[in-house]
Chain A
Amino acid sequence: MRLWRFMEYHDEHGVNVFDQWYAAQLDEARATFDYVLNEIAIMVNFSDQQLFLPMDRNEKGLWEVRFKVVFNGRLKRQFRAVGFWNYDWEDRREFILVTGCQKSGRSTIPPGAYGLALDLLEKFFLEGKDNLYEYPF
């Protein structure tokens, strides 16, 4: 049973920002992400784990899902799915996914993924443009 809800953010034009990233990924990354997200959703708490972590410094306020994807049985790539908690929701157990990226050193593919996530965080809390739909998995 899932203890945490994961939502997708749709902007004011109805664009599902997270799905734009997800749809662009290969099946290896999509399947691993869906499995990892369920692993997080059934966790009782987030202590003593490296899958789902809060960010600090310039990205304070964001959390990221960290997962590795193996391509062709050997090539490993680091991925991140980024979002923030919906503090408006009664039980504080709703996490909003806004984008994802592949990590390569300090840079991300696509570039500026964390900046976009911060923009959406600001929009969500300051402008109240919050169209949320449950992530399908």
Chain B
Amino acid sequence: MNIRSNLWRKLAKSKKYREEFVAAQVKRGIPFQARALLKRRGWSQDELAERAKVTQGVVSRAVNPEYGNLTLNTIIRLAAGFDVAFIGKFVRFSELDRWFSEQSEISLGNVPAFDEENAMPEAIKPAASKQGQELVADQEKKPPISIALLLAKTEQVTAFPPLSVKGRAQKGKGEFYETLRSNAR
């Protein structure tokens, strides 16, 4: 790796930072993905609890990134509830760095259950066949989705459109500040 990322520079500065970053990733990453999966499938915590054969309280703690004491048994039950696989393994820091910069809520939530995957044509099951492997390789060669396209897609579901383009164009910086702060006075 010739060009070091900003994260890499921080990781390289201190072992304590590395330890804490890994801890944050392990403790927060799984709850974040569990929430993304719930959102993507439109399930409630109760529904997942029923499928995973645990109580809703267990699910509630499992999707809370501040909880920090998720057990392997709970992770196994969640995987069973979602009917997906789970891979926990030790990796080099460069892999963490790459994963950190490439992850997205959409891709984390977009994990098909086994039956859904099993019903897919062979060609789009990654690594299921030579043809599948070629398709995955082709996908990797393609340029990433443009930010403009992604922004256009997320615009429709974003809960943060506080000021329309038209509204912003009509207001100067100062006027906007007055509007923003007027209710606070």
* Interface residues, chain A, with chain B CB atoms under 8 Å away: 1-3, 26-28, 30-32, 34-36, 38-39, 42-48, 51, 56-61, 68, 70, 85, 87-88, 91-93, 121-122, 125-126, 128, 136-137
Contacts and interface: CB of A to CB of B under 8 A. Distances in A.
A34 B17 CA distance: 10
Interface SS of B by simple majority: helix
A135 to B, nearest CB: 9
B163 A61 contact: no
Contacts of A58: 184
Contact of A35 (B6, B25, B66, B104): B25
B57 interface: no
Contacts of A121: 177, 181
A126 B174 contact: yes
Nearest to B39: A48
A116 B158 CA distance: 29
Contacts of A27: 14, 16-17, 19-20
In this complex, the member of A31, A34, A56 whose beta carbon has the largest number of chain B beta carbons within 10 angstroms is A31
A26 B19 CA distance: 12
B91 interface: no
Interface in B132-185: 144-145, 147, 150-151, 154, 157-163, 168, 173-174, 176-177, 180-181, 183-184
B43 to A, nearest CB: 13
A59 B25 CA distance: 31
A8 B33 CA distance: 28
In this complex, the member of B16, B160, B183 whose beta carbon has the largest number of chain A beta carbons within 10 angstroms is B160
Given A88-B173, A136-B10, 17 more contacts: A2-B104, A3-B104, A3-B154, A31-B21, A34-B21, A42-B103, A44-B105, A45-B157, A46-B159, A61-B177, A87-B176, A92-B160, A92-B162, A92-B168, A125-B174, A137-B7, A137-B10
A1 B10 contact: no
B103 to A, nearest CB: 6
B106 interface: yes
B112 interface: no
Nearest to B184: A60
In this complex, the member of B6, B103, B163, B184 whose beta carbon has the largest number of chain A beta carbons within 10 angstroms is B184
A42 B104 contact: yes
Contact of B150 (A1, A48, A61): A1
Given A45-B157, A57-B184, A136-B6, A128 B151 contact: no
Give 5 closest A-B pairs by Cβ, nearest first.
Answer: A125-B177, A31-B20, A136-B6, A60-B184, A35-B24
A85 to B, nearest CB: 7
B102 interface: yes
